[in-house]
Amino acid sequence: MAKLMNLTKYNHLLVIVPHQDDEVLMAAGMIYEMGQLGKKVTVCIVTNGDYECADYSKGRGRLRETLAGLATLGLSQENVIFLGYADTGMPKKDSFLMKLYEAKDEEEVFASSVGNTTYGLEEKQDFHYQCFGEHGNYCRNTLTGDLRELLWRINPDVVLTTHGSDCHGDHEALFYFIQDILKEIDQGQRPELLVGLVHSKEGDETWPLREGKLFTCPKGLEESGLIWEERMVLPLGEQFHGGLKKGNLKYDALCCYEIALEPDAVDYLFSFIKEEELFWKIG
């Protein structure tokens, strides 16, 4: 039986997602509601979404869209962190984060079409640069170190990320990174880990359903280790009702991500505009 979310028990939510817009698709309502409760919220974007771009224009454009989208939900720029890693494709074999995770040599540097070091915006640098005064190499050791440093500095009591069964290589790999690092923390001090789904085994063409106010169980969920009956449901307030129209905060936020809203992706992205959000507790 699904459980209703109780946000009042949390003090600081850290949302860590691979790409710009993942945080809105999964958790726009949670981010907004936590803010309304006076709780702390930090959103961390791991990659710059610069897939198939040979310069910084697409990545920096997407980072600025993230700031605009999250501002719609009441989150200030100071509460957004860019790790500044590359985005090289969705399939597991092309995924940049999966290449880092599976690297046998933790110091091996991988290059994207843009470069081989982290980057952010001129007005808001990447996390590694902010911490250490230089951009980080694209290797497993640097990303692991950045995630450890982030968790130490933020000290959240709940972390939300994508699940290992998410059918995007970056989403799967990020879950493994986060899970491994959290295991290093003493259980009594370890934050609660929540996960959500963006790309299900059913496929983006049909899930989430394009119509309807509530999510349905995606086909193949039982193969993923997530149980539909154990989902945690966050009913959203009136600010997230009304469907695809201005004034619905998730719609307004998603409209800020113009680069992601390509013709073949619009219906899929907007299908996450429901009157609820779904999460699963891990561990």
Query: How far apart are alpha carbons 277 and 231 in whole angstroms?
Result: 10
Does the pLDDT value for residue 90 go beyond 90?
Answer: yes
Mean pLDDT of 30-43: 98
Mean pLDDT of 264-279: 97
**Hey, which residues does 161 pair with through a beta bridge?**
195
At 224 the pLDDT is 85
Predicted confidence band of residue 154 (pLDDT cuts 50, 70, 90):
very high
At 107 the pLDDT is 98
Does the pLDDT value for residue 222 go beyond 90?
Answer: no
Mean pLDDT of 240-255: 97
Residue 249 CB burial class (10 angstroms; 0-12, 13-18, ≥19): buried
Query: How far apart are alpha carbons 73 and 57 in whole angstroms?
Result: 25
Angle, CA of 114, 119 and 121, to the nearest 5°: 115
Does the pLDDT value for residue 244 go beyond 90?
Answer: yes
Element (H, E) at 235: strand 232-235
Predicted confidence band of residue 1 (pLDDT cuts 50, 70, 90):
confident
Predicted confidence band of residue 46 (pLDDT cuts 50, 70, 90):
very high
Mean pLDDT of 56-71: 98
At 121 the pLDDT is 98
Q: What percent of the chain has pLDDT over 70?
A: 100
Mean pLDDT of 54-58: 96
Query: How far apart are alpha carbons 175 and 92 in whole angstroms?
Result: 13
At 223 the pLDDT is 86
Residue type, 74: G
Does the pLDDT value for residue 283 go beyond 90?
Answer: no
Residue 236 CB burial class (10 angstroms; 0-12, 13-18, ≥19): buried
At 272 the pLDDT is 98
CATH class of 3-282: alpha beta
| pLDDT digit string, tens, across residues 98-153 | 999 999 999 999 999 999 999 999 999 999 999 999 999 999 999 999 999 999 99
Mean pLDDT (the chain) is 97
Element (H, E) at 102: helix 96-102
Mean pLDDT of 238-256: 97
| pLDDT digit string, tens, across residues 166-218 | 999 999 999 999 999 999 999 889 999 999 999 999 999 999 999 999 999 99
What is the pTM for the complete model shown?
Answer: 0.97
**Hey, which residues does 162 pair with through a beta bridge?**
196
